Chains A and B, each alone.
Chain A
């Protein structure tokens, strides 16, 4: 390309300028930007969990499922009543799941005693 016409248009000049703009940043700034980003992402995640409370007791749900699976596999044991999907959805509160775990444990204790 002829040098005299290389930057004749605005777009050509703009492209040449931004091509020379560096996005390289030193490691310290990169680390600070990463930390700031993580803080922002954490805010979004927290807000999302507040708006979707069924995500919060996921740990309790998993624990209840594990307890139910163990009890159902015990030989000679009466199977626990299995909750259907609608009941599980209604039982989204962590406290309720904890109660279910407690009932399962009590049931197990009674079976052991009997």
Chain B
């Protein structure tokens, strides 16, 4: 099988899940699309020569890096927006316009956009997880990566993967209820 055919088969297998992971993480379809597209091109450009068995953790590492980049860009643009857009309301109080902007901040789940409204409790519970916990949970449970592969994708130790995963499940249990659904 040619490398191009192998790459096509691999990307076909992961593209929908990758898109949903990115969408859950950034809460925005267009940003998620850009993240997945960029991840595909980066894998093809830089890592196509690597053994195909390495593609999955490499691809998800790239995906997670792009998600993190997206958080950083938003945080940066929010700071800029805040600097230029602070204004006083009718009572003369200074209002931080950036705080009114939608979009997630990595460590502020309360600011994270909920996907597709409040009706989808699974999406909501996942979107509200801290980013590293969500990554560990989705890569292990949904993508089926081993602990070692997840650690490679997340650039952390296997012990950290286990901790993030365990905490993610604990939070999901809290959010969804012990006897959910």
Contacts and interface: CB of A to CB of B under 8 A. Distances in A.
A41 interface: yes
A23 B17 contact: yes
A21 to B, nearest CB: 6
Contacts, number: 96
Contacts of B181: 16
A33 B181 CA distance: 32
A16 B180 contact: yes
| Most chain B beta carbons < 10 A, residue from A15, A42, A44 | A44
B169 interface: yes
Interface stretch (A1-9, A63-71, A87-95, A105-113): A1-9
A36 B36 CA distance: 8
Q: Which of the four size classes fits the interface of chain B?
A: 35 or more
B19 interface: yes
Given A14-B169, A21-B20, A23-B17, A36 B37 contact: yes
A99 interface: no
Interface in B140-178: 140-142, 166, 169, 172-173, 176, 178
| Most chain B beta carbons < 10 A, residue from A10, A21, A45 | A21
Given A7-B173, A15-B141, A16-B180, A48 B122 contact: no
A43 B45 CA distance: 7
Interface in A1-40: 3-4, 6-7, 10, 13-18, 20-23, 25, 29, 32-33, 36-37, 39-40
A32 B33 contact: yes
A29 B44 CA distance: 20
B130 to A, nearest CB: 16
Nearest to B48: A44
A47 interface: yes
A45 B19 contact: no
5 contacts: A10-B169, A25-B16, A29-B29, A45-B4, A48-B2
